[in-house]
Amino acid sequence: MTLCSIPVARRIQQRVRRFRLELRPHLPAAGPRSRAIRAAMLAAIGASLGLSACSWTAHDDVHADGIVWQLDNATTNPAGNWQTLGIRDLLIQWVIVDDTAYVADTGIQTAAHLPDWDRISRAPWATNVILGLAGYQDEKRARTQLSKLAELSAAVAHAPMPLHVTGYYFPVEVDPTWQDAPKLAGILQRLPRPLWVSVYDQTNIGGKALADWLASWLPPDVGVFFQDGCGVYAREPYVARTYLDELAARLGKHRVRVIAESFRPAERGGFRAAGADELTRQLVSYRGYQIYLFDGPHYVSDDLIRALTTAPTKPAAAESRSTGP
């Protein structure tokens, strides 16, 4: 996620700083077994492989709770089998972006092609919706237009839509380098609840410092989506887990969810979808927190879902096992 600021390649490229290689976890070696036990095990394994190939059902370790949709002209018709991972929640990044509305009758310019909101409302992965409000793809512009965006957001929040809206998201991202971020507190008071914002840490100040900074100004009834930074190699999943634990300890776990960035820098520039091994390490590391994948239509294809749900699950890296709540 970089939620709002992943206007898909633009701002994330600015966030790419230090590229780190993750250690690959090793599967434990099996001990000796008798011939009879080996035969029974092989039969059981064969049966389970057959079942998994036919049913395409996610195992527990690759569970996710939500999918993020960064709505743009190329993805007005999102489709995928994201529910296979257990996903029931949809976080729409915005329904007004760059002064263009993807909802009818808002009083501002309407996009040439609107999403089929009725169809989306029936999708199993959109059982519950957090509605992103008004934003700009350019982060600097968004941060200097807070009052305007709040006005547009308050209006569009009441637009009739056939969705089961369970909360709202204000798509102006927060990070500790934004010196005027505390001014956002007053703006957020003008918006409907339940309300969420997103935060990232490109300077690696650490989870405790980030949590203390947020607690010093963020209204206590506003929740936080933490962008894990794995998509730009800002940190490894086990380090992102320590951020989550610090945020939960300071803000309350009910206010903390995680955006698992489901992309990686491509060799020739731009970004590619994360591999199944890469994304699995994130999902395993964040167990116990509500996980949202960024972003579904651009990066989480049915092929990736199939790889996640049929491949053997590897244990998380040793570091991540020591960071449980």
Q: Which two tokens stand for residue 219?
A: 């209204």
Query: Does the structure show a pLDDT above 80 at 103?
Result: yes
Residue type, 219: P
Q: Is residue 27 assigned to a domain? A: no
- Label the pairing between strands 100-101 and 96-97: antiparallel
Tell whether 280 is covered by a domain.
yes
Q: 221 in a domain, yes or no?
A: yes
Say which residue the tokens 């008004």 belong to.
134
Q: For the chain, how many structural domains are there in total?
A: 1
Most confident of 15-24, 52-61, 132-141: 132-141
- Does a structural domain hold residue 38? no
What global pTM score does this model have?
0.82
**Average pLDDT rounded to a whole number, residues 201-212:** 98
Lowest mean pLDDT, pick from 44-58, 154-168, 179-193, 210-224: 44-58
Structural domain of residue 172, as residue ranges? Answer: 10-17+59-322
At residue 12's C-alpha, the angle toward residues 74 and 108, to 5°, is 45
CA distance 239 to 150: 33
Asked if residue 2 belongs to a domain, the reply is: no
Reported as a pLDDT band with limits 50, 70 and 90, residue 151 is: very high
Question: Would residue 28 count as lying in a domain?
Answer: no
Tell me, yes or no, whether 52 lies in a domain: no
pLDDT band at 95 (very low <50, low <70, confident <90, very high): very high
Retrieve residue 123's tokens. 């999708």
Q: CA 262 from chain center: how many Å?
A: 8
Which CATH number goes with the domain that contains 219? 3.20.20
Q: How confident is the model at residue 316 (pLDDT cuts 50, 70, 90)?
A: low
Estimate to the nearest angstrom the gap between the alpha carbon of 125 and the chain centroid: 14
Residue 124 within a domain: yes
Instruction: Check residue 239 and give left, alpha or beta (phi > 0: left; psi -120 to 50: alpha).
Output: alpha
- Give the pLDDT band (50/70/90) at residue 60: low
Sheet of 96-97: strands edge to edge? Answer: 100-101, 96-97, 134-135
Lowest mean pLDDT among 46-60, 99-113, 264-278, 289-303: 46-60
Which of helix, strand or coil describes residue 195?
strand
